[in-house]
């Protein structure tokens, strides 16, 4: 079974992180919330405290199939300044393993040089931080092993693309149909 990790830093965007976790768990895909703060409880950009599944220093990052970065301005800055994570992002990219980032977080991949020559998207106003990327104004962009998305409003599609990669397009559409179009209520 595919395994992914989503990283929490103080100031992460609540909806972007929780939508991904919720949809992947509904799909039966393993996803762990990993705190880079040294504490399991991490405060979001809107002062919501979430308890991560594990601390970065205890996570088996190398066994993951995908690393996921939620946005949030402060959260993105904190993720970028955490060198053990940026080292892993570079390692994963070099190995052709999957990386996904939403909102402001694709700027981390741009800063690291991971997006050079690749199609990508991000939150409006962060385009110049996608250093070397071919910017596309689309909700979700996948280019090889990299998935990027624009923000909170695109997170269902972003999560669907992650499920497509880790499981199948059929599973992604099944989950999206259940949460969006379920007419049994």
Per annotation, catalytic residue among 67, 103, 122, 133: 103
Q: How many residues does the chain have?
A: 185
Question: What is the distance in angstroms between the CA of the first residue and the CA of the last residue of the chain?
Answer: 32
Q: In the block, which residue shows the tokens 């052709």?
A: 96
CA distances from 65 to 6, 50, 89, 98 (A): 11, 23, 12, 6
Q: Is 103 a catalytic residue?
A: yes
- Return the SS3 of 125: coil
Which residues are registered as beta bridge partners of 101? 69, 148
- Return the SS3 of 110: helix
- Cα(17)–Cα(94) distance, integer angstroms: 25
Q: Is 132:115 a contact under the CB 8 Å cutoff?
A: yes
Catalytic site residues?
A: 103
């Amino acid at each position: 079974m595919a395994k992914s990790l989503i990283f929490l830093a103080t100031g992460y965007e609540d909806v972007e992180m929780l939508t991904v976790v919720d949809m992947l768990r509904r799909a039966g895909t393993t996803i762990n919330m990993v705190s880079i703060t040294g504490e399991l409880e991490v405060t979001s950009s809107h002062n919501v405290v979430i308890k991560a599944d594990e601390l970065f220093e205890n996570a088996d990052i190398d066994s993951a199939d995908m690393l996921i970065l939620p946005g949030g301005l402060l959260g993105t800055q904190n993720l970028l300044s955490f060198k053990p994570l940026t080292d892993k992002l570079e390692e994963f990219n070099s190995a052709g393993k999957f990386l996904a980032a939403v909102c402001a977080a694709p700027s981390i991949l741009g800063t690291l040089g991971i997006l050079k020559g690749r199609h990508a998207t991000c939150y409006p106003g962060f385009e110049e931080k996608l250093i070397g990327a071919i910017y596309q104004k689309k909700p979700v962009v996948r280019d090889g092993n990299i998935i990027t998305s624009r923000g909170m409003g695109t997170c269902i599609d972003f999560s669907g693309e992650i499920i497509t990669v880790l499981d199948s397009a059929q599973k992604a559409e099944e989950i999206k149909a259940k949460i969006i179009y379920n007419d049994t209520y």
